[in-house]
Structure 1
Amino acid sequence: MSSRNWQKSSYSAEGNACLYVSSTDDATVRLRESDEPDTILTTTPAALRALIRSAKAGHLDHLRRT
């Protein structure tokens, strides 16, 4: 896994807690956070789209820390 393949999210601010995304030749999507760069989550494009849609629709708001 080359670091040149990682792209920082445009929603990430400068400093800590930045989200990075990368894809592989087989269309696997990889996600990591700047604080834990060795911890990598993998998913499919369809599953990531479903997660983003759910978050935008507010379906995950009950998981928010208060």
Structure 2
Amino acid sequence: MTGVTAFLVHWAQMPRYRWLARIVGARGMRQVASAAYDHVLAPTLYHLHRLRKHRRDAGPQGD
């Protein structure tokens, strides 16, 4: 289970997020949310992860 489907499962189990699961899980919205996740959010998160990893691996400079 990945992407929006995973979020929907988690949100449906969290009382404060059930409303979000119902909205995003609605017909039409799920396809839009999946496209946004696959083409915008996931690549952005991966890019941020790579930056953090690069900074961590570079370590402190100086001395």
Bin for the TM-score computed over the shorter chain: 0.3 to 0.5
Question: Which has the bigger relative contact order, CA under 8 A and spacing at least 6?
Answer: 2
Which is richer in helix? 2
**TM-score, normalization by structure 2:** 0.37
